[in-house]
Amino acid sequence: MTKARQLWLKIHTYLGLSIGIMLVLLGLTGSILVFYLQFDIWLNPDIEAVSTAPVSQQQTVFDQLQQQFPTRTDSWRIEQPLHSGWPIMARYYTPVETRDLQFAPLMVTIDPATLEITSKRFWGEFAMTWIYNLHYSLLVDKTGKTLVGIIGLISLISLLTGVVLWWPGWHKLRQVMAWRLRTSYAKKVFDLHILSGSYGFIVLFMLSLTGAALALPTQTQQIIRIFSPLASSPILARSLQQQGKKPVISADTAVASAFKLFPDAELRWVESPGIKKNSWRVVFYQQGEPSRRFPRTQVWVNAFTGDIVASRDGLADSAGDKVLNWLHPLHNGEAFGLTGRIIVFICGFLPLILFITGLLRWQQKRHARKRTAYRHS
């Protein structure tokens, strides 16, 4: 074995042993989160909607929230159901109960037909959001996010060193990619490790790269800005008091104004001004955007006049913004529909297979070296 190959092998081995458990944790939790909204409904059947009919009047949802939570006067954000049987999901981002946490909004589910509030839960205090926090920040908030980003970058190095060690050359690629497990235990472990890594390399590399970028957003944006400008949020007046006592327009009026800019788009989110902002924010999905749940087409509507004060066309973003827009839907597979989600779900189990087979392979080699040393002693 050449010295260069020995170096690559040591790097690959010790990186895998050092972060392997963390990659297993991130892989398994990531698989769950691919379908986390559906899993939440399965775990909490009371929140499943009784009707598939969409809400035609958005203001009725905000009226219900105001009636049920009269002291929560900041902005509410309501999300339209993605699928039949799903509830409307509302978020209140500034609950006093969780103000010491970086991200812990009050999450409310509402039946779109009856407008009945079917759950009131703080983010992180129910199963699926606890798993989300575990995956995204290891339950230690900002420090954990940074650590997850670093683990993602180390994972990229581990994957690349694995490919360098495995690469057979183009002329043998088809032969080595044939699925086969040899008979002996040691060779079977080796084959399973190699095949899992080679078949899953592209998806695992993409998941590590996008995961690191999502966990390190500031650093990611700084790098992208070198090559492309990025959009910034519009500068809007913060206090409603500047507008006097003029009546605030309804959510439906705001949505109708926003639809004039994007008449063929699908309504996804509506965010109320609350007492600290002077604009409604309406978020649309346009065909061609990578994420239907978190699209980038947005319109800000003056809460007193109904005038459009700012907008963003998700299909006209800069190259840098398009890169950012693709990160999350690539990471959870949404960009490629149900097929993409299933692929990402399956690949979330590969770190477990790679870690177990890699550990077994390392132990086999260590025992072999001990036997060789004993015979020559």
For residue range 197-226, list pLDDT tens digits in order.
Answer: 999 999 999 999 999 999 999 999 999 999
Sequence-separated (6 or more) residues with CB below 8 Å from residue 47: 40, 41, 87, 109, 118, 119
What pTM, to 2 d.p., does this model score?
Answer: 0.91
Q: Taking residues 10-31, what's their average pLDDT?
A: 94
Q: For residue 84, what pLDDT is reported? A: 86
Sheet holding 88-92, edge to edge: 117-122, 106-110, 88-92, 76-79, 266-271, 279-285, 297-302, 308-312
Closest to 26 measured CA to CA, from 123, 102, 133, 103: 133
Q: What is the mean pLDDT of the chain?
A: 91
Per-residue pLDDT, 241: 47
Tokens of residue 80, six digits: 């339209």
- Using left for φ > 0, alpha for ψ between -120 and 50, and beta otherwise, residue 317 falls in beta
Mean pLDDT of 171-185: 83
E strands, the chain, where?
76-79, 88-92, 106-110, 117-122, 266-271, 279-285, 297-302, 308-312
| Res 362 pLDDT > 70 | yes
Instruction: Summarize pLDDT for 64-118 with one digit per residue, the tens.
Output: 999 999 999 999 999 999 988 899 999 999 999 999 888 999 999 999 988 999 9
> What b/e sequence results for 109-148 when a residue is b if at least 16 CB atoms lie within 10 Å of its CB, and e otherwise?
bbbbeebebbeebbbbeeebbebbbbbbbbeebeebbbeb
